[in-house]
């Protein structure tokens, strides 16, 4: 049986009474695409304001009151998605944690890796899953493949933000609120089920420090590091993930807004245990913990695409990855 979505042919296979698109329930593909369009519009508006009206943007995100209003405006759509059994990735609970501009880079990389790794199960390790947006991003990339795939999602789904004086973006405080009473974990479970990918996703609830040492070494084709962005957390995640990757596997991550050669390195070093700061050299916001951990771990610039970065594990160390997917 074949299904055409946006003029793209997708093969379906039967599994009991439901139709699946290589792990994705076919009736839910439309739900994902519709929800993605709504999220894209919201994210595009945010990106536009951030790029063209920086002063207004930073005044807005520094106000917990205004950020909270933005979050609450998404409540009704959140309820609608729950009632309609649709995935939700909007501003309520800060559920949309994967930037739309990065998704094509993530998906094209996975598609290319699956084609080059033709044998066995393709396994993805994800550190930091939140509401499941990135897990669905991987799943959508895999759906056209005949390969069996497992996405292992490691996340404690518990509060983690450190109080910071003069925090430039209050969104993490809304995220802390979302973590109470298991709200975000329940949304993760809902999104995975509503998207029809429960059979390929394995959630492991716990800190990466506790979970990663229990996983089999050299067993993953790709590992995505997007947990807590403080230096001490990121560097441990990189170190603990290295031994879990197969040779030739991809180690990648999110929120590398600026690389070490682009920022005031002394400032980044001094603020590496702060989540988000403004770089005095460029005037741009970045995550100093991610920047410094990637810098110290690889000891060189990494391949990057719109904040998403990737490197290949080799017998002799780490190799850059071609991020030109045109």
Q: Which pLDDT band holds residue 66 (cuts at 50, 70, 90)?
A: low
Q: Which pLDDT band holds residue 144 (cuts at 50, 70, 90)?
A: confident
**What mean pLDDT is reported for the chain?**
81
Q: Can you spell out the DSSP letters for 112-129? A: HHHHH--SS-EEEEEE--
Distance of alpha carbon 40 from the chain centroid:
15
Higher pLDDT among residues 288 and 94, named by residue:
288
Rounded mean pLDDT of 222-239?
97
Q: Of the given ranges (5-14, 121-130, 193-202, 221-230), which has the lowest mean pLDDT?
A: 5-14
The C-alpha atoms of residue 319 and residue 69 are separated, in whole angstroms, by 44
Rounded mean pLDDT of 98-106?
90
Q: Can you spell out the DSSP letters for 36-97? A: HHHHHHHHHHHHHHHHH-HHHHHHHHT-HHHHHHHHHHTHHHHHHHHHTT----STGGG---
Instruction: Write down the pLDDT at residue 169.
Output: 55
The C-alpha atoms of residue 74 and residue 265 are separated, in whole angstroms, by 38
Q: Is the pLDDT of residue 24 over 70?
A: no
Partners of 245 in the beta sheet?
220
Q: Can you spell out the DSSP letters for 160-212? A: -PPP-TT-S--HHHHHHHHHGGGHHHHHHHHHHHHTT-TTTEEEEES-HHHHG
User: Cβ(315)–Cβ(298) under 8 Å?
Assistant: no
The full set of domains in the chain, from first to last, is 98-320 (3.40.50.150)
pTM: predicted TM-score of the whole model, two decimal places: 0.81
Rounded mean pLDDT of 91-117?
90
Q: Is the pLDDT of residue 294 over 60?
A: yes
The C-alpha atoms of residue 79 and residue 81 are separated, in whole angstroms, by 5
The C-alpha atoms of residue 191 and residue 188 are separated, in whole angstroms, by 5
Instruction: Write down the pLDDT at residue 310.
Output: 98
């Amino acid at each position: 049986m074949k299904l055409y979505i946006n003029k793209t042919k997708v093969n379906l296979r039967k599994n009991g009474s439901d139709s699946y698109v290589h792990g994705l329930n076919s009736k839910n593909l439309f739900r994902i695409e519709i929800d993605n369009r709504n999220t894209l519009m919201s994210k595009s508006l945010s990106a536009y304001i951030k790029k063209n009206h920086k002063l207004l943007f930073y005044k807005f995100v520094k106000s917990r009151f205004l950020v909270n209003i933005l979050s609450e405006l998404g409540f009704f759509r959140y309820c609608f998605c729950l009632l309609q059994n649709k995935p939700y990735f909007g501003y309520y609970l800060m559920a949309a944690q994967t930037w739309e501009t990065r998704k094509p880079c993530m998906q094209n990389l996975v598609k290319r890796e699956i084609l080059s790794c033709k044998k066995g199960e393709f396994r993805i390790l994800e550190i930091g899953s939140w509401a499941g947006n990135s897990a669905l991003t991987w799943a959508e990339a895999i759906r056209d493949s005949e390969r069996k795939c497992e996405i292992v999602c490691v996340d404690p789904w518990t509060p983690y933000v450190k109080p910071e004086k003069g925090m430039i973006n209050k969104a993490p405080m809304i995220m802390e609120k979302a973590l109470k009473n298991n709200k975000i974990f329940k949304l993760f479970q809902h999104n995975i089920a509503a998207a029809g990918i429960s059979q390929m996703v394995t959630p492991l609830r716990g800190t990466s420090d506790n979970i990663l040492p229990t996983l089999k070494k050299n067993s993953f084709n790709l590992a995505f590091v997007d947990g807590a962005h403080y230096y001490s957390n990121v560097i441990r995640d990189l170190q603990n993930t290295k031994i879990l990757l197969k040779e030739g596997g991809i180690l990648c991550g999110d929120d590398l807004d600026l690389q070490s050669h682009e920022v005031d390195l002394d400032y980044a070093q001094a603020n590496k245990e702060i989540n988000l700061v403004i770089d005095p050299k460029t005037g741009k916001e970045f995550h100093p913990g991610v920047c410094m951990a990637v810098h110290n771990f690889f000891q060189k610039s990494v391949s990057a695409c719109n904040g998403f970065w990737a490197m290949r594990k080799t017998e002799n160390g780490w190799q850059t990855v071609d991020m030109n997917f045109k």
